[in-house]
Amino acid sequence: MASLQHLSNWLRHTSLGWTLATTALFASSGSALAATDLKVVGSWSSLALHQDFEKPFWTKTLPEASDGQFNVQMTTFDQMGIASSDVFRYLSNGLFDVGMTSADYVVSDAPELEGLDLPMMAPDVDTAHRVANAYMPIAQRTMNQRFDSHALAIVPYPEQIVFCNTPIKGLADLKGKKVRASGRSTGEFLQAIGANSVNLAFNEVPGAMERGVIDCAVTGSLSGYSAGWQDVSSYLMPLPIGGWDYVLTAINNKRWNALSKQQQQLLTEQIQQNFVKPVWENAHTETQQGIACLTGQGGQCEHGKPASMTLVEPSKADEQHAREALGDHVLPAWAARVDAPTRKAWNNQVGPIVDLKVPTP
């Protein structure tokens, strides 16, 4: 109830601000065209994806590129006090126009989106990028049917790797340990290798790690560094068992359909060229930059003082074990949660990229 109140207050505030701004504009120039107002809700405010890419694009790049056609008021879901899993629910109700959140956070409402980011499916950034591109038609259909929204973009966080506060030498050492998963399919992966999956919000992890509630946790390397996980963990294993934690950007269908064809084209082109493309280019170095900041190895940390976590390099046996858990357990479990058209689309569009096939339940 408190979250809804936060949202309502923000909406009333932004609407009043836009009304005053528009009145001033018309008063100064009777020939001026009214801007299209967009209420935009971004992802985690403290992380680089929002600070370096989302916020600059929506508040500066897009308004300037559109010559003022788009007037953007932006906040983030954590600043508003709403759960990340509720972003697309609010978007579908039209309480704001554009929303961003991790696909993993909304799989209880939209299991189709899980197939975008299964553990160990895309072991490197180039494969992850190809998967994201191939998945867009599935994401588009899902967002339209589940959230009455139009998908605009799919971008990654750094690959989701393992932080532990207890000694590990490889993947097998996670057996019996309490591990915070970054999503439902990651939790199923952890169960498959004998670990105990724990469901915790991202911002709850440091306290839980410090108190011994969990032994390990999965998140992006630079995300973990930015959130201070190096202060409560000592071992880092850069195996992407949590995938890439893709963030989906979508616009409410009513707002999308109210845009002119020219505005739709402009928004689509701008978001691909000046948001999606730079994020993926940055993804090539962001994971390694996070590792350098967390361990002091593999380059210079450009984000602050490097920590001294122990780097645990995964072995070929670890990679093979992880791939078997994906094929034998995670993929069949996901297949049972989605319909036949989704399975067929996945096999046709994604399967050839990752050399996997979704089984028929």
Here the tokens at position 23 are 């009145």
Which superfamily does CATH assign the domain made up of 35-156+244-285 to?
A: Bacterial extracellular solute-binding protein, family 7 (3.40.190.170)
Distance, in Å, from the CA atom of 267 to the CA atom of 354, rounded to the nearest integer, reads 31
CATH class entry, domain 160-243+287-354: alpha beta
Q: Say whether pLDDT at 25 is over 50.
A: no
Distance, in Å, from the CA atom of 114 to the CA atom of 10, rounded to the nearest integer, reads 31
Distance, in Å, from the CA atom of 271 to the CA atom of 249, rounded to the nearest integer, reads 10
18-27, 107-116, 121-130, 290-299: which has the minimum mean pLDDT?
Answer: 18-27
| Strand 196-198 versus strand 178-180 pairing type | parallel
User: How far from the centroid of its chain's Cα atoms is residue 302's Cα?
Assistant: 22
The alpha carbon torsion through 97, 155, 101, 215 (nearest 10 deg) reads: -170
pLDDT at 15: 42
Q: pLDDT tens for residues 154-190? A: 999 989 999 999 999 999 999 999 999 988 999 999 9
Q: Where in the chain is the domain with CATH 3.40.190.170?
A: 35-156+244-285, 160-243+287-354
Q: Say whether pLDDT at 33 is over 70.
A: no
The pTM score is 0.86
**Residue 356 bridge partners (DSSP):** none
Here the tokens at position 42 are 């971004």
pLDDT at 7: 53
Distance, in Å, from the CA atom of 47 to the CA atom of 203, rounded to the nearest integer, reads 12
Radius of gyration from C-alpha coordinates of the chain: 21
Distance, in Å, from the CA atom of 338 to the CA atom of 110, rounded to the nearest integer, reads 9
The torsion angles phi and psi of 26, rounded to 5 degrees, stand at -65, -35
Distance, in Å, from the CA atom of 214 to the CA atom of 177, rounded to the nearest integer, reads 8
Band of residue 201 on the pLDDT scale cut at 50, 70, 90: confident
Owner of token pair 């900041």: 293
Band of residue 34 on the pLDDT scale cut at 50, 70, 90: low
Residue type, 219: T
CB-CB neighbours of 326 under 10 Å: 22
Q: What mean pLDDT comes out for the span 72-96?
A: 96
